[in-house]
Amino acid sequence: MEALLQPVQALLGAAWVPVWTLVKIFAIILPLMGCVAYLTLAERKIIGWMQVRNGPNRVTFFGIKALGGLAQPIADGLKLLFKEIVLPSASSKTLFVLAPVLALAPSLAAWAVIPFSEGLVLADINAGLLYIMAITSMGVYGVIIAGWASNSKYAFLGSLRSAAQIVAYEIAMGFALVTVLMVSQSLNLSDIVRGQGEGMFANMGLGVLSWNWLPLFPMFIVYFIAGVAETNRSPFDVVEGESEIVAGHMIEYSGMAFALFFLAEYANMILIATLTSIMFLGGWLSPVGFLPDGFHWLAAKSAFCLFFFLWLRATFPRYRYDQIMRLGWKVFIPVTIVWLVFIGGWMMSPLSIWK
C-alpha cells in the first residue's frame, strides 16, 4: 500500500494532504450511504416479519426471483430523485432549501472522529467526545428551520416539539457521556475503547464483562433511549406524528428534499448505534480472548443496536408528549446524576476497578 501510494504522493506534492483526506472522507461516506439505503429495506423487512408479513419482495435485480426486494432502496431513491421539489409560495425560500442540508450535514460530520478499528480513524483528536456532542446538537436546526421556513402550522408545531424534546434529552445524554469520560479519563474515542479492553475480566479472556455496559448499566440504557429520542424515532416520534400533525416538519417537502430528511434520520440512527457500541460495548474489541479484534465486531455491535431501533418501533405505541417530557426531565436526568455521583464515589474508593 505504502509503495503504491508513494508515486501518487510525489506527483501531487502539496495537494496530497487534501486529496488523500477527501479520498478517506469518501471511503467513509459512500459505504455509510449504502448502509442508510439498506437500513430502510431492513426496517421494512424486519417490521414486516414481526407483523407476519413479507415486506417488500417485488423489485429485484435482473429478474432473479431470489433477490426479491433487494433493489427496493434503489427504486425508491430513483423515484424520489426524479420527483419535482415543490417550493411553497409563502415559504422562506433560502431557508426552506437549506433545512434538509442542515439536517444531514451534522450526522455525516460526526463520523470524522469515529474509530473503526485500532488506528483506523479520520481525525484522531483528543476532544473527540466533545466534538461528537457539539456536532450532534446541531442536528436540531434542520428540523426547526424546516418547520419555520415551510410557513405551515403543522410543520411549525412539529419543529417546536422537536426543539423542546431534543434539548431535554441532550442533557441526559450529556450526563451519560460524562460518566463514560470519567471512567476512561479521556475524551478521545480510541482511548475510550482501549480503556474497555483492560481490567480483571479482560485479563481472564472475558472482555465482554469488562466493557462499560456492566459498571455503567443505567447510563447505557439512558444513553440508548435518549439516542432514540434524539433521532425522533418511534416511540418518540411526536415530531412527525402522523395522526396528530400529519408529518410534522417534513409536510411541505417533496422529492429529494424530503428524502434528505430521511437520509439524515437513518444516518443519525447508525451514528447513535455506533456511538453506543463505542462507548459501552467495547467498539472494535472482541468479546472473548481467543477471537481477534477488528472492525467486524464494531459492525456487528452496531447492527445489534440498530435492530433495537427497529424492534422498539414495531413494539411500542407512540408516547404522549407530556410523558416524553416527564421521562426526560424527571426520570433520566435524576438517574444520570445519581449514577454520576455513585461512580465518582466508586472511583475514589479502594474498590475502584479503573486504576
From the CB of 12, what's the least distance to other proteins, in Å? 16
Rounded to an integer, what distance in angstroms lies between the CA atom of residue 75 and that of residue 88? 27
Give the span between the Cα atoms of 287 and 290, in whole angstroms.
9
Residue 97 interacting with other proteins (CB under 8 A) = no
Measured CA distances, 160 to 141, 147, 148, 167, 191 (Å): 11, 8, 9, 11, 38
Stretch 152-171: interaction string toward other proteins, x if CB under 8 A: ----x--xx--xx-xx--x-
Q: State how far the alpha carbon of 294 is from the alpha carbons of 120, 297, 308, in Å.
A: 10, 6, 23
Select 142 or 207, whichever has its Cβ closest to other proteins.
Answer: 142
If the CB atoms of residues 140 and 222 are measured against other proteins, the closer one turns out to be 140
Positions in 180-209 near other proteins (CB under 8 A): 187
List the x/- string, 119-138, binding to other proteins by CB under 8 A: ------xxx--xx-xxx-xx
- Whichever of 139 and 215 has its CB closer to other proteins, that residue is 139
CA distances (Å), origin 138, targets 104, 108, 268: 10, 12, 12
Q: Would you give the end-to-end CA distance of the chain in angstroms?
A: 39
Cell of 328: 426526560
For residues 335 and 344, give the distance between their C-alpha atoms in angstroms, rounded to a whole number. Answer: 14
Helices (H), 185-248: 189-196, 200-203, 217-230, 242-245
Subset of residues 58 to 77 that bind other proteins, contact rule: CB under 8 A: none
Phi first, then psi, for residue 231 (nearest 5°) are -85, 5
If binding is defined by CB under 8 A, does position 148 make contact with other proteins? yes
Candidate segments 142-150, 193-201, 273-281, 310-318, binder of other proteins by CB under 8 A: 142-150
Task: Tell me if 303 contacts other proteins by CB under 8 A.
Answer: no
State which residue, 46 or 157, has the beta carbon closest to other proteins.
157
Residues that bind other proteins (CB under 8 A): 92, 95, 125-127, 130-131, 133-135, 137-138, 140-141, 144-145, 148, 156, 159-160, 163-164, 166-167, 170, 187, 323, 326
